[in-house]
Chain A
Amino acid sequence: MAWMVLFLGLLGPAHICAGAGATKFKVYTWFRYTMGTKGGDIEKSQFAVKRGYLRWEHKFSDAVKSRVTVDIFSSDEGPHGAGLKLKDAYVEFKVAPEVELKAGLQKTYFGLIYDWEYITVEKALEDKQKLVASKDYGISVGGYLPQGYGEWRLEVANGEGYNKAGKDVDESPAYLANLRVIPIPGITVGASLLKEGGDRLLVAGTGRAVLGPAEVWSEFLRSEKGDVVSLGFMLMPVFGIHPKVDIVSRCDYWDKDVDKDGDSLTRYIAGLNYYLIREPKVMVQAFWERERQEGEDPEDELSIQLRWEFASGKF
């Protein structure tokens, strides 16, 4: 770790002081209606702005750029009825052709979480089951395989995620390795590993197959923490039935402790995405979701979301 910090200390300022570059920004927002029921009773019916991201990216030179993203959201949990979270705050250095080094608050390069596009309104499985957070504080090195055959990345991060800082972070860093290969166009396979301290190991295997308007995403997860081993998978077929309409379904399974009975969970999601504009994105998402904890009544949720974004340049 020390050599990385020293390298950044030497390289960073030299590039940054070289002069002004180009800055662009992006805004994206989700406005959602949610109706939740359990055992047939309505437990939730509300409108909310679920996401209000502001992103700035500055290119100091071809070799150095930086990104900052903040999530501004309404919340009645704080005294002012609003909250603010830092989601990105990193600088990226091109250290060799097709190889870059990132330092700061950045993506967690694991499984599907780091480029999860919210094809349904639901989070990636590892995010939903709180195995990893989408962003974390750390340093990473990664790049692309020649001819677009895939990508790789190595990362050292806190492991606790972007919303934990200071006293909530333990002394053990998390080490991550991620590899994705695209052997033929339309077929992507990936593997990720996260190791933290002596007792936490997380492994993911991912797959994506695209054939014309149809695609299938899949993910297998295995988590080991002390003596507890958890297993799960996600399968998500997507069908583009029209240039503006995708039909999506998803099935999740998660067994919290493979040695115990009665703690598994299943989740079914079905719905559609309607793109009013593809780029920049203005879309409507309508999804029904059923989650059933083993031995309990199922919980249903209907979400209808208007999602839009705009930017001053291409991100």
Chain B
Amino acid sequence: MKRILTALGLITSLYVGEGWTRERALTLAGSTTVLPIAQRAAEEFMNLHPDVSISVRGGGSGVGIAALIDGTVDIANSSRPIKTKELKKAREKGIKPVGTVIAKDGIAVIVHPSNPVGELSLAQIRAIYTGEINKWKEVGGESKTIVVISRDVASGTFEVFKKLALGGERVRPDALMLASNKAVATTVAKTPGAIGYIGLGYLSPEVKAVKVEGVYPSKEDVVSGEYKLARPLFMYTDGEPRGLAGEFINFILSPKGQKIVEELGFVPVK
């Protein structure tokens, strides 16, 4: 038994030794909507600062915030504000989550380009997603059955869409729940009767964005507040952004960083 314990001790000390190396590093995790902004900004930032290593992971807003609370990341990317339960956990651990809005995003409701429907009210969107409306002809379209596509429940986009468009109501059980904005766009592009929703940055000519309450999801109308399905995108830090995390967030808020935001189809905040 002594030999086993000695071996365990050796293995443990090897692992411990490995983790003691220090470097100028930054770790981010969270929202898949914020992910492309974080990744592009990280690449540019590392080009400007060769001594810096930035690791960016997805996982969803909830995963990112949990990691910030556990102290395993420096920045949590989130496409929704932090929840009370998460705030309580953070406060218990002495973490003070501070959210910085780095961009705004409109959630575009999309249909197949061949679909003649070009406008929907929030009430109609809610009725489609909760199962009250099943045919396109009920909203001025053809007699096709509506194929409802949604993001999965771990996504911040899903939570915001549910809150803003569905008034908190549950998505119909036969909806197809997909894991990314890209998957939703691809599926709607291939399915003539489909309806879905994606971040503005994922709009392409292969899908058609419909007007919501008479307003097209343009960047101008997201900024002005005219477009109703819009949300801020956050980077959460423990306390006000400082050190390397502060430098990185300031970079995203700089003209160069906000240009990345715009190039990716999101709405700059500066």
Contact = CB atoms under 8 A, between A and B. Distances in A.
A18 B173 CA distance: 8
A35 B2 CA distance: 11
Contact of A186 (B16, B87, B93): B93
B84 A144 contact: yes
Given A18-B170, A144-B88, A278-B72, A314 B63 contact: yes
Given A148-B87, A182-B92, A186-B94, A284 B12 contact: yes
Given A185-B94, A274-B12, A279-B72, A242 B88 contact: no
Contact of B67 (A147, A186, A279): A279
A59 B12 contact: no
B30 to A, nearest CB: 12
Given A242-B16, A313-B154, 8 more contacts: A19-B173, A21-B170, A33-B4, A62-B170, A149-B91, A185-B90, A245-B16, A314-B154
A243 interface: yes
A164 interface: no
11 contacts: A45-B1, A148-B84, A148-B91, A182-B91, A182-B92, A185-B96, A186-B94, A243-B19, A274-B15, A304-B8, A314-B62
Size class of the contact patch on chain A: 35 or more
B87 A147 contact: yes
Given A144-B85, A244-B19, A274-B12, A19 B90 contact: no
B153 A274 contact: no
A210 B89 CA distance: 12
Interface of A: 18-22, 33, 35, 45, 59, 61-62, 98, 144-151, 182, 185-186, 188, 208, 210-212, 215, 242-245, 274, 276, 278-279, 284, 286, 304, 313-314
A142 to B, nearest CB: 12
Interface string B149-162: 00011100000001
A89 B4 CA distance: 39
A279 B154 CA distance: 17
B220 interface: no
Contacts of B62: 314
B89 to A, nearest CB: 8
A150 B170 contact: no
B84 A210 contact: no
B158 to A, nearest CB: 11
A245 B15 CA distance: 10
B19 A242 contact: yes
A186 to B, nearest CB: 3
Contacts of A304: 5, 8
B70 A147 contact: no
Contacts of A20: 173
A279 B66 contact: yes
A243 B15 CA distance: 12
A143 to B, nearest CB: 9
Contact of B88 (A62, A150, A212, A244): A150
B172 interface: yes
A4 B76 CA distance: 40
B57 to A, nearest CB: 11
A4 B12 CA distance: 52
A19 B170 contact: yes
A314 B70 CA distance: 13
Nearest to A188: B92
Given A20-B173, A147-B84, A150-B88, A278 B94 contact: no
B90 to A, nearest CB: 7
